[in-house]
Every structure is written in C-alpha cells, then in structure tokens.
Structure 1
Amino acid sequence: MCGRYATTRTSSDLSDAFGASLAAAEPEIAADYNMAPTKRAPLVIGRRVGEQEVGREVVTATWGLVPSWAKDRSIGNRMINARSETVHEKPSFRRAFAQRRAIVPADGYYEWYQAPAEDGSKPAKQPFYITPADHGVLALAGLHEFWKPRDEPDAEWLVTFTILTTSAEDASGRLHDRAPLLLEAEAFDTWLDPAPRPREELFELLVPATPGRLDAWPVSTAVNNVRNNGPELIRPLAAE
C-alpha cells in the first residue's frame, strides 16, 4: 500500500512540472515530508477545455476518497488506496475511475519493511523512503471525487482522492507486497481526460513502481509519528 509520502514542491513548481493551471483561490500548501491520510495535499486533475483538449489544474484535496453517495466523510479514512485489480467494479471507486482520474504529485513515498527473524520473533519494522532516481516528481495514479453532506446543499464541495496500487513483485525483492502505480508524462492527457475509456486502455498507461527507476534507503523511525515533519525524515540513516 501507500500510506505516507512526501510532497514539498510549491503549487507554482507543480504547475510548471505538470503543465497545469492553478485553481483560483487555492491556498498554498506547505511542504509536507510526512503526508498522511486525512491531510490536504496538491492534486492534478483534468478538465475539458474543448472537444479534443484536456486542461490540467492543480487543486487542493483531502487524502481518503469519499464517494458521492456516502452519508458522512469518515468513510474516506479507509479509502486512501484503491486496488487496481478491482477499482473498476468496487462501488466506492468505479465512478471516479470512469470519469475522475487524477495525478498525485509526490517527491517520494514510504514503505515499512519487516525482516524475518531467525528466532521467530517479530522485529520492529524499518521505514524506507522511495524516490525517483533522477530526483524528479513522481506522478502517482489516483482518482478524485466530490462530496458534500446531503442535508447541507449550500455547503462547499469537499475534494478527496485515493492512490492506485498494484502487486509489488520484482527480481530485486520487495519492501511491501503492494506498490503505487505511476504515470509517464506522455500518458497524462489520456489519464486525466474525464471521458470514459476502456479499462484495458487505461491500465496500459500505468507503470508499477520498480527498483530500476527508483532509489530506496532506510530512514529514521521518526516518520512513524505523523506529528513529526521536516527534511530529516527523508535523510538516509547512514547520514545521521
């Protein structure tokens, strides 16, 4: 799964990186080295500009997708990831997958590895930070949704999102049995286009996160506490 990540670029940086406009009146989000569920984060969504053109926009959204039919927003606490194998058929995600796909910008993400112990005990899990080898911005495949309470028609829309994951299998071993799905730049427009597309066509755009394109190193267990935040969280343990 993907349960924590780092996003430190400004909205202007992300606008440049993704060729996107900035949503009006959106507040600047501070750098977050410990992005966790229920926090607000930058998100890139697509909007139809013309019959053939898809515009990209950087908005602010809450991590944890709340389906439009939900009675209250608390369901989003369990919707931080969507399994790619079933996302097209699950009631919580299928509408968003059909029409509201998104890109979740990230500097990198965290996974926790628990090495097997010879004596059968369970050692503490070691957090790892996983980031692009070229120091670029990760484009995590996501979905977004709009929600507001049914009994408050004048309330503002809440924008929420989830991150798509797949099985993490590779020749170099793995830190976790699930990994986020990524998008290359040439796939952005098709993925963000709100027009429905065949599931097979959409999944041809997605790339599993693999060691060949990413670097990973152990980091301090300080990241375990969501209240901790700062560049020291992504620093390799060897540099401590």
Structure 2
Amino acid sequence: MCGRYVIARMAGDLLGGVELEEDLANYNVAPTQTVPVLVDHAADGGWRRELHSARWGLLPRWAKDESFSSRAFNARSETVLEKPTFRHAVKAQHCAVPATGYYEWLKAPEQGSGRPAKTPFYVHPADEAQNIYFAGLYEWWRIPAGPEQGGWLLSTTILTMDSPSEREAELAEHGAATLSELSRLHDRLPIPLAFTGDDDDALSRWLRASESPAAAVEEVRTGAYDVAATWELREVGPEVGKVSRNGPELIEPAGTLL
C-alpha cells in the first residue's frame, strides 16, 4: 500500500518548521526513490529540526544489498517492535516523511469479467496548502561495495495501520464521510502525524520519542484517524501507475469520488 506519493511543495515553503532551499516537487514518488525526511536532534539544550534526503525503503544494518529496501517501504505498526527489519530503528530513529498527498488504488469487480479493476485516487489534505507528515523510521546503512564503498546511505520507511472500519467511521465526531471512503479504498492507512507548529505537537513528540517505543507507536496510532478525517479523496487518471509519468497533471480530477 501507499505505493506512490506526491511532493508538490515548492522552494521557500515551510516544511514542518524547516525552510526549503530547493524545489522538491515530485508528483509520482515510488519506492526506492529519494524522499525528504524530517528529524529532530538535541542541540544546545533544545531541539534542531533538519531535512534530509533518504531512500524510500528501509535498509537495516544487516542487509546485504540495496535491493532489500524494495520490500520495506512500509512497516506495519502492529508488529514493528518485533520485526528484525524495524526493531532497531523503532527504538529511537524516528522521522517524518512529508508529502502533499498519496495515491491509492480502489479495487472493484469489473462488470462481466469478475476480475478486479483498479481505480487510482489522490488522497490529500482538504487545505491543499498543507502537508501530510507520515510517521516514519530511518536507518543508516554502510555501502559494502562500488564507487561509494564505505559510505553511508540513509533510508526510511512509513508506518501503517488498519484503515478505519465502517463502524469507526460512523462513530467519528468529525470527518465521518472521509473515514468511510478511506475504509473502502484500502485496508491499510499510512499513519499521519498532527502538525500545529507547537513544540509539543504529535509530529514533535514522535521525532523526539526515545524512552518508550511501544508508547510512541501507540500514540501515533491513536491520533491517526483524527488527522485522516481532515483529508479528501479524488479520482485521478491511470497515468499515475506509470513511474515514468510525472507532473502536476497527475493530481487533476479524472472522475467522481467513491
């Protein structure tokens, strides 16, 4: 799931409190490609937020080659504490993966064929001037061979959880319609973090969590639906399924909502 996502922020915009120095626009990011990640480092009695580039797909320290990352671009939050791929990073190497939105494909039976048809949707904040900040993990991997042998490669993964059920959507105080659409779109949801700009918002707490990984994961899971309830979905064209296609036309509406 979350097999493509979108960065449409331009140079000069604030990204989780960090001012961009370059144009990061990319409308069709795929696993193993380079993505931005936000991290907080302790500095001078406070915190310094930094923006780095990372490979989308986690490379644990013991991975033998880069191809491993193609299997680790998402991490199930329910098992992230136990899985060998993620259990080192989840202890203290937390990051946020910022995006303008992401694509997900709705599977529905084709009339007459019985085969599933896939319809792409663009999921994004209702206020498209805002970003989504996905809860992520990062790892540094030592490059074993080639021109960059001995160097370090930064990689990342995005945490996921169950999408809201229809019952959970019905009981939601806000955004019931959006949560209902998400429940039918896919059974998994990339976990978003609330960003208010305060020093104690969910984004900051996740980036700085180190004492109790289990509690930190549970906290981001608990707040995920509240953030997702503020999103919107729109159907887009099938071109988003081609990694070679890129540009703002990919997020233009191509049909009706769910």
Q: Which of the five TM-score ranges fits, normalised by the shorter chain?
A: 0.7 to 0.9
Match status 1:192 vs 2:207: yes
- Is the CA contact (8 Å cut-off) linking 1:132 and 1:214 kept in structure 2? yes
1:82 partner SS: strand
Unaligned runs of 5+ in 2: 167-179, 196-200
- In structure 1, how many angstroms separate the alpha carbons of the residues matched to 2:23 and 2:140? 20
- In structure 2, how many angstroms separate the alpha carbons of the residues matched to 1:76 and 1:163? 12
In the TM superposition, residue 77 of structure 1 has moved relative to its aligned partner by 0.9
What corresponds to 1:164 in structure 2? Answer: 159
- In structure 1, how many angstroms separate the alpha carbons of the residues matched to 2:228 and 2:98? 19
Q: Alpha carbon RMSD of aligned pairs, Å? A: 2.3
- In structure 1, how many angstroms separate the alpha carbons of the residues matched to 2:145 and 2:80? 29
In the TM superposition, residue 54 of structure 1 has moved relative to its aligned partner by 2.6
Q: How many residues align?
A: 232
What corresponds to 1:175 in structure 2? Answer: 185
What corresponds to 1:77 in structure 2? Answer: 70
2:249 partner SS: helix
Deviating more after overlay: 199-208 vs 226-235: 199-208
Structure 2 counterpart of 1:157, which letter? W
In the TM superposition, what are the counterparts of 1:45-194 in structure 2 within 5 Å?
45-51=39-45, 53-117=46-110, 119=112, 121-135=114-128, 136-150=130-144, 155-171=150-166, 172=180, 173-185=183-195, 186-193=201-208
- Is the CA contact (8 Å cut-off) linking 1:11 and 1:58 kept in structure 2? no
- In structure 1, how many angstroms separate the alpha carbons of the residues matched to 2:137 and 2:203? 13
Match status 1:237 vs 2:237: no
Match status 1:43 vs 2:37: yes
- In structure 2, how many angstroms separate the alpha carbons of the residues matched to 1:80 and 1:41? 11
Compared CA separation, residues 201 and 159, structure 1 to 2 (3 A)? closer
- In structure 2, how many angstroms separate the alpha carbons of the residues matched to 1:94 and 1:47? 20
Structure 1 counterpart of 2:142, which letter? K
Compared CA separation, residues 177 and 205, structure 1 to 2 (3 A)? closer
Structure 2 counterpart of 1:19, which letter? G
In the TM superposition, residue 117 of structure 1 has moved relative to its aligned partner by 4.3
The list of structure 1 runs, each at least 4 consecutive aligned residues, that deviate by more than 4 angstroms after superposition, is 117-120, 150-154
1:94 partner SS: coil
- Is the CA contact (8 Å cut-off) linking 2:90 and 2:213 kept in structure 1? no
- In structure 2, how many angstroms separate the alpha carbons of the residues matched to 1:31 and 1:115? 31
- Is the CA contact (8 Å cut-off) linking 1:71 and 1:149 kept in structure 2? no
In the TM superposition, residue 55 of structure 1 has moved relative to its aligned partner by 1.8
What corresponds to 1:208 in structure 2? Answer: 224
Structure 2 counterpart of 1:48, which letter? A
Unaligned runs of 5+ in 1: none
Deviating more after overlay: 160-169 vs 205-214: 205-214
- Is the CA contact (8 Å cut-off) linking 2:97 and 2:158 kept in structure 1? yes
2:186 partner SS: coil
TM-score, normalised to structure 2's length? 0.82
